[in-house]
Amino acid sequence: MRPATEALVVIDVQNDFCPGGALAVVDGDAVVPVINAMLPEFAVRVFTQDWHPADHASFAANHPGAEAFSMTQMPYGPQVLWPVHCVQGTPGAQFHPGLLTDPADLILRKGFRAGIDSYSAFFENDRTTPTGLEGYLRTRGVERVVIVGLATDYCVNYSAVDAARLGFGVTVVDRACRAIDLNGSLADARAAMRAAGVAFK
């Protein structure tokens, strides 16, 4: 058992990010048994869930003529336009059926504001609007977070960098993550995480 000051944060292991989903990560479902095996080690376990309204501004379908995976400018900066995914209440937004969700102390939904995306478990993409996770972890006495899930180069990366920025010790477990790797995004994400002081295991 890990110390009570260490939390496992499971990022977005949802149907739309797994094979057959709307924004599938290659081998995304391979993380499920690894994460399930890790859950009993931790006293604090948080799961995040992408939870978008259908009119979300990050969906290419909501920008006439825009291609999926193209870039646009939002008031908060550059934004990838994604295929429609993880729409509230749809099967794609549900957790992978093999993932053990009962052990979760907290399920944090993010990306529910139509005008702003939310990669990080800690902040919206403006990097200032908090999700409330920091406060939850602090009141639970957490000092270190171990981050797993999907996808390494987006939501895992942003969550890890923000956790480090907030002063938590951070470890990303490679075998429990998979990446989209869009135009070299995995290498860039690894560099950003290392620069922030994130450890890899």
Domain boundaries along the sequence of the chain: 6-52+95-200
Going from the C-alpha of 139 to that of each of 131, 132, 136, 143, the distances in angstroms are 15, 11, 5, 10
18 is catalytic: no
Is pTM, for the whole model, over 0.95? yes
The predicted structure's pLDDT at residue 182: 86
pLDDT of residue 54: 98
- Which residue out of 18, 29, 110, 117 is catalytically annotated? 110
**Confidence bin at 85 (pLDDT 50/70/90):** very high
> Which of the following CATH numbers is that of domain 6-52+95-200: 3.40.50.1110, 3.40.50.850, 3.50.30.60, 1.20.1250.20?
3.40.50.850
12 among known catalytic residues: yes
Distance from C-alpha of 13 to C-alpha of 176, rounded to nearest angstrom: 10
Question: Which pLDDT belongs to residue 186?
Answer: 96
Task: Identify the active-site residue in 12, 50, 117, 153.
Answer: 12
pLDDT tens digits along 105-155:
999 999 999 999 999 999 999 999 999 999 999 999 999 999 999 999 999
pLDDT of amino acid 47:
98
Q: Which of 16, 155, 162, 177 is catalytic?
A: 155
